[in-house]
Structure 1
């Protein structure tokens, strides 16, 4: 499905009837060949915006819900000393570690070349309860394409963990899209998907948490500010603007005060 190298319909069905963690373990071998992977265009736009926005290159970067490591090259180009990826799926981490193994065979993937940036370490953990060893260790934290896996009630705890991971003055950055208009096919597709997932989780255990409309900018900003962040946004102009002039995509920058 999606491409010849992607998952089959049957494989996606098995994933959808598994727990969130087990589902991604199953999807890991073919994940990079699905639309679920963050597009390179989005990663490039965020990297460019961060390079222009950060006053100095960060020493250490952390990718939360890193999956197979799509955003790791971004952090390796931006950061000087250390890059860490965290995910709760052992299968996804195995794929990421295979790609970015510590320069043993840099020819295996250009992004693994030690000349590109610092080496990478991967941590198997739930980002809602980060290991204490990661607290206060990072200048830049990013996350891409994972927030549909957090229920609104989980956001405050998750943001508190990010706050703990950052050094004073550090930044938590991620893209956030404008909500589709009620009259658009995108709104109805997202609403329909969320409705199906709510029915599935009401009738089937274990739950698979994935929703498209549980991460609105207003609520996210309020929860970040309550967690102690100073929040700004920057338009990602390459994705255009809506008829009212607002950007289709923004880079949200949540800074832990120095």
Structure 2
């Protein structure tokens, strides 16, 4: 799973015993050489789908990490792209490794996604692989913050993978990981919030609607289909509605 240039087990242990923010600061230099980076196999079909909806003027990558999603936005936005993350270490790597060349202006902003410093300035927001860092009770605030950052009619897009069934080894691996993290966070401070099974589609759709979005989805057919014929992944596209959104409590 890890390359020779990736983090060692000792480094991963130190990171896992740190806070979420500090853990990613430590992991940042080796992050792109771990399986935690969203793979191009997911990024590419998302980019192609967004191209059919755009172009967009300004795009925001929420919890941008080292910038994989920003690269997607640079290809579908014409004027401005912003990556926001709470980890200074991840942003530093993103800024240093951003590909040169023409395209929209790229900015990097350090901020918590639960308190985004933007007000109605983006046409498109994306996020990749970050939702496990938010507890279910935090989703309404997160979605409300993204909605506030979008212009009326702006879109919030992110891929969702079909959950593995109990006949899959991955199902039990993710279940075991989440159980381990719950024990870790019960007995150790600071907490490191990362769970794989706290983002069910039904709850996500409910929270998006309550935050003031209408939601569509499109299959990411390049990622294949399950044995029952259902797509392995979909792109959720939430559109900011004109009606006022209910206030989210912190």
When the two chains are superposed, the root-mean-square deviation of aligned CA atoms in Å is 1.0
Mapped partners of 2:108, 2:213: distance in 1: 26
- Please say if 1:163 is aligned against 2:147: yes
1:65 equivalent to 2:60? Answer: no
1:41-63 per-position Cα deviation (integer Å, ceiling 9, x unaligned): 111110001112x1x41100000
Deviations along 1:91-127, one digit per CA (max 9) or x if unpaired, are 0001111123xxxxxxxxxx221x2x11210100001
Residues 139-194 of structure 1 show CA distances to partners (whole Å, capped at 9, x for unaligned) of 00000010110100000000000010000110000000111101111110000000
**Correspondence 1:91 to 2:89:** yes
Give the structure 1 partner of residue 231 of structure 2.
Answer: 247
Normalised TM-score (structure 2): 0.95
- Of residues 113, 122, 131, the one that matches 1:127 is 113
Counterpart of 2:191 in 1: which secondary structure? coil
Aligned residue among 198, 204, 207 for 1:220: 204
1:141 aligns with 2:125: yes
**Structure 1 moving runs of 4+ over 4 Å:** none
* C-alpha distance in 2 between matches for 1:140 and 1:231: 14
Aligned to 2:246: none
Deviation at 1:246, TM superposition (A): 1.5
CA–CA distance in structure 2, aligned partners of residues 179 and 59 of structure 1: 34
**TM-score, with normalisation over the residues of structure 1?**
0.92
Gaps of 5+ in 1: 101-110
User: Secondary structure at 2:72's aligned position in 1?
Assistant: helix
Q: How many aligned positions are there?
A: 242
**1:193, 1:139 → 2: CA distance?**
36
